[in-house]
Amino acid sequence: MAIRLYDSLTRDYKVLGQREPGAPPVSKEHPFTFYNCGPTVYGPAHIGNFRTFVVNDVLRRLLILEFGADQVRYVRNVTDVDDKTIRRAREEGRPLAEVTKQWTDKFHADCATLNCLPLDPQFEPTATGNIAEQRRMIEVLMQKGHAYRTSDGSVYFKVASFFGYGELSRLKERELQPGAALLGKPQSADADEKEDGSDFALWKAWKPEDGPVKWPGPAGAADGRPGWHIECSAMSKTLLGETIDLHSGGVDLLFPHHENEIAQSQCCNGVQFSRHWYHSEHLLVDGKKMSKSLGNLYTLDDLSPKHASPADIRFALLAGHPRKQLNFTLDSLHAAKSAVKQIHDLASEITLRAHSSAYPLTVFNQPPHLNSTWGAFGPVRDALCDDLNIPLALGHLFGVRNEDYVRSMVRSSFSVPAKWENDFEGLRKVIFALGIRFTAPQDNLFAVPSDIKLLADKRWAARQAKDFKTADALRKELAAAGWAMLDGKDGYKLEPLKK
Ligand code: AMP
Ligand code: ZN
């Protein structure tokens, strides 16, 4: 099924992976290439950052389900040198690499806690690990007349040299020309030498406050460090090629970061940079932008395990439409907890019917079979593939548990395993796409032996037929075998009797 996603550049919905005539279709040899701007590592990421990374993780998982794992190549970089990282290292009197390693490790640990799929190290490049590629690109831009050197040895991109500048962020529609108020006045001393206020740094000449942080510059430039934007252009080119299928990030990156990436890449390579641009909206906390001074800035450690399990937090970050702002409150964690419990119960019920002896629910943590069906969960897939409409997908997921479905569960019991097998595989896909992980041992389904299930079915049938004598006798038989049968309105549950 095709995944349709809103494209911030054309302001329209486009099918992912549809390439221009002449370009090879998505295949193992020409995988779908997806670049997601990663974190700046100078402190713990907050839950707003994680909303963006979790949304991108769901998108990556959906691409894997639709194209196949070997046809998706995903890159998420680590920004490990910039003003903020250098300032933090200076304040703490520690080497830059030590500070950024500490926070990269913490970011990885948090991503694992939130059950984001891991990255092959090759596809998590760092800015400092790719200086040569950035230098090369800057040199090409200078040779082609898109960049110039200032007297201190810095290099700037000449915005006026790129006709398409501002298309992504609609600069012209906002009647703002390069150099106008939005872009601000030159801020630092070296910026005074910029030919135009909107020109941006590709290479920053070393300054005393940078301490030991410096690398040899591009030809003709001073020692120093790359500007922020060039790292993504260079690393995406190195790992994914000159034209990629999808580029994403939080909405704040649209301008200037992504606008500048387009300018650098297209002027350097002479071809379209990204076929598709996807921006997810921000997370608010208690209706406000997160900030330390408001006391509403949460990291994962602030919430887990005090307030919620990692699965609950992940669910709370996912619950809204990714292209709409989402308001997070501690109460939303309660709602998430109950939703995760419902998914867990549905998984238990379907597993019980799909398998003659029950599986532990941790089977849902393994990748699903890609060529299986979605069973009763086709509408969930449709909603996810339609602009990643997660709220609609969740509506369908919980809608599956309607009266008819529950009744069909009770009626069929274990007599139509093929249907339940399909639904089991479908639910595995849904749970994989959302990245819900069942962890605690109590989340595991008790293994119910098939003879016990048979007895329970018989008893349920007797009860339905109002043959209470037989039903009672069967209940005793079950109890003697160590099982309690809990009757509900529309079905029953089996639990081992406590010894
Ligand atoms: P940074 O580490 O600041 O470069 O940010 C990493 C990612 O988090 C970027 O894609 C940002 O757009 C995103 N981001 C920052 N603040 C928020 C927020 N409040 N809600 C959602 N995403 C955010
Ligand atoms: Zn980037």
Query: What tens digit of pLDDT does each residue of 179-214 get?
Result: 544 444 444 444 557 889 899 999 999 999 999 999
User: 49: Cβ below 6 Å to ligand 1?
Assistant: yes
Per domain, the residue ranges of the chain are 4-280, 330-440, 450-496
- The answer to whether residues 35 and 73 touch, using CB atoms and an 8 Å cutoff, is no
Q: Residues 405-440: pLDDT tens digits? A: 777 776 665 556 788 889 999 999 999 999 999 865
User: 128: Cβ below 6 Å to ligand 1?
Assistant: no
For residue 439, report the distance from its CA to the centre of ligand 2, in Å: 33
User: 322: Cβ below 6 Å to ligand 1?
Assistant: no
Tell me: pLDDT of 445 over 60. Answer: no
Residue of 49, 116, 254, 292 best suited for mutating to test ligand 1, as the one with most atoms within 8 Å of CB: 49
At residue 443, the pLDDT reads 41
Q: At which residue do the structure tokens 């049938």 appear?
A: 461
pTM here is: 0.87
- DSSP tag of 168: T
User: 37: Cβ below 6 Å to ligand 1?
Assistant: yes
Band (pLDDT 50/70/90 cuts) for residue 348 is confident
Q: 143-147, 172-176, 226-230, 386-390: which range is least confident on average?
A: 172-176
Q: Which amino acid type is present at position 450?
A: S
Q: Which of 395, 258, 398, 386 is nearest to 323 (CA)?
A: 386
Percent of the chain with pLDDT strictly greater than 70: 90
Task: List strands edge to edge, sheet with 200-205.
Answer: 147-149, 155-157, 200-205, 224-226
User: 52: Cβ below 6 Å to ligand 1?
Assistant: yes
At residue 415, the pLDDT reads 56
- Please count the helices (runs of H) and the strands (runs of E) in the chain: 15, 14
Can you name the residues that pair with 126 across neighbouring β-strands?
78
- The answer to whether residues 4 and 15 touch, using CB atoms and an 8 Å cutoff, is yes
First to last CA, the chain: 50
Q: Is 402 or 431 the better-scoring residue by pLDDT?
A: 431
Band (pLDDT 50/70/90 cuts) for residue 1 is confident
For residue 247, report the distance from its CA to the centre of ligand 2, in Å: 9
Most confident of 285-294, 400-409, 451-460, 488-497: 285-294
The protein residue whose alpha carbon is closest to atom 7 in ligand 1 is: 49
Can you name the residues that pair with 5 across neighbouring β-strands?
14
- The answer to whether residues 146 and 157 touch, using CB atoms and an 8 Å cutoff, is yes
Q: Within 13 Å and on the Cβ side, how many CA atoms surround 448?
A: 27
User: 98: Cβ below 6 Å to ligand 1?
Assistant: no
User: 282: Cβ below 6 Å to ligand 1?
Assistant: yes
At residue 349, the pLDDT reads 80
For 4-280, the fitting CATH number among 3.90.1300.10, 4.10.95.10, 3.40.50.300, 3.40.50.620 is 3.40.50.620
Residue of 34, 52, 324 best suited for mutating to test ligand 1, as the one with most atoms within 8 Å of CB: 52
For residue 78, report the distance from its CA to the centre of ligand 2, in Å: 9
